[in-house]
Amino acid sequence: MNLLKNLSSTAKSNFFTYALIVGGYIVIQILSLTGGLTYSLQGLLIPVCAWIIMAISLTLTVGIMGDLSLGHAGFMSVGAFSGIIALISLEAVIPLVGLRVIIAMLTGALCAGFVGVLVGIPVLRLRGDYIAIVTLAFGEIIKNIFTCIYVGMDNAGLHFGFLLSSGISELNLGEGARAIVDGPQGLLNIPNKIVTFSMGFILILAALFIILNLVNSRAGRAIMALRDNRIAAESVGIPVTKYKLIAFAVSAALAGAAGTLFAMNFSTVVASQFNYLASIQVLVFVVLGGLKNFWGAIIAAVLLTVLPESLRFLDEYRLLIYGILLVLVMHGTYSNIIHKLLNFFRSLFPTPDKLEKQ
């Protein structure tokens, strides 16, 4: 215990975040070994991993950088589409599944990060509400572009098409034809079930490692300084665009990796799934998690993904009750009793928040 006391509060908070993830992983593994996992929960494991990564990466943009982004699901779809295209097209070259999954995730992350930089350059010159509106628009643009893309593969290689009026048949695929992206039908024939919960767990750890290290680095302090007082930060020579772009691109890249993970769990994914409602859902995770708390965002992501599913026994009243619960939870976290409870937990596990105040 002495060891814990000697740690700085940031380290304690980080330690708790890691412990939460590892603990959750162990509990799930034990449950699955003892057969205590229902099919519902089994099916939710990988999507929950993906939503956790989405939540912590958006916490970086919204909580740490202080800019409201409403297009986060757009980056997820970039990752989903590019990652799956890589996964399928490399099937013949790299037979090793694990390696192919890693390459697919890296491709997804790189493509989403690249789009993040492209979007970030104009967007991050704006301030406040304008960023929210423009990111919202970018998310919708990305969605609409993916709706018009056609990708097929035959023995000669990949074929790309855009806005084909008679669909994928216009790609004139030769022998060994296989449709990968079919316009509005989205990604088809995804070899699903190749990712496991453990891979999702490792990806969460990697994402946490990247984000927490970034936040606690020189760049992270610069980003938080820009958030707290932009003018003061600029006056001491912190380059605004550079640091904001770093945070935004890292956040986008991790969302991309999450998108690849998410898509690999399903046999089909359509671009319209990643609409602004999905972005707002992630934002809800972040807000409920307390904006700057990574572990809060993780808990919120798990809770709000599992909750609507565990309410299925309510049949037609399900979404109604879910809505009421959401209001109560949001209300409850700001009322007295829960506040005291939260303060109690906070005294155990200090957040970066408190550190700043010290």
Partner 1 sequence: MKKVIIMALVLLLAVTLVACTGAEPKAGGGAFKIGGTGPLTGGAAIYGNSVKQGAELAVAEINALEGIQLQLRYQDDEHNAEKAVNAYNALKDWKMQISLSSVTTTPGIATSKESFDDRMFGLTPSASSTAVTEGKDNIFQMCFADPNQGSASAQYISNNNLATKIAVIYKNDDAYSKGIYETFEITAKELALEIVSITTFTEDSQTDFSVQITDAQSKGADFIFLPMYYTPASLIFKQCDTIGYRPKFFGVDGMDGILTLEGFDIGLAEGVMLLTPFSADATDPLTKNFVTKYNEKYGEIPNQFAAGGYDSVYAIYKAILASDGDIAPTMGHAEICEKLIAIFNGNFVFDGVTGTGVSWDSNGQVSKDPKAVVIKNGEYVGM
For residue 49, give the amino acid letter.
Answer: C
Residue 149 pairs with which residues in a beta bridge? 162
Give the end-to-end CA distance of the chain in Å, rounded to a whole number. 22
Q: Which is nearer to partner 1, 92 or 163 (CB)?
A: 163
| Of 266, 256, 270, the residue nearest 74 (C-alpha) | 256
Site mask, partner 1, residues 201-240, x = CB under 8 A?
Answer: ----------------------------------------
Contact status: 185 vs partner 1 (CB under 8 A): yes
How far, in Å, CA of 201 to CA of 214, rounded?
A: 20
Contact status: 318 vs partner 1 (CB under 8 A): yes
Rounded to a whole number of angstroms, the minimum distance from the CB of residue 326 to partner 1 is: 11
Strands 178-182 and 157-162, by their bridges, are: unpaired
User: DSSP labels for 24-84?
Assistant: HHHHHHHHHHTT---HHHHHHHHHHHHHHHHHHHHHIIIIIS----S-HHHHHHHHHHHHH
Rounded to a whole number of angstroms, the minimum distance from the CB of residue 337 to partner 1 is: 6
Rounded to a whole number of angstroms, the minimum distance from the CB of residue 301 to partner 1 is: 14
Contact status: 33 vs partner 1 (CB under 8 A): no
Rounded to a whole number of angstroms, the minimum distance from the CB of residue 139 to partner 1 is: 12
Contact status: 56 vs partner 1 (CB under 8 A): no
Contact status: 169 vs partner 1 (CB under 8 A): yes
Contact status: 336 vs partner 1 (CB under 8 A): yes
How far, in Å, CA of 198 to CA of 255, rounded?
A: 18
3-state class (DSSP) for residue 305: helix
Count of positions on this chain that bind partner 1 (CB under 8 A): 54
Residues that bind partner 1 (CB under 8 A): 36, 38-44, 47, 140, 144, 147-148, 165-167, 169, 182-186, 188, 192-193, 266-273, 306-307, 309-313, 316, 318-319, 321, 324-325, 328-329, 331-332, 335-338
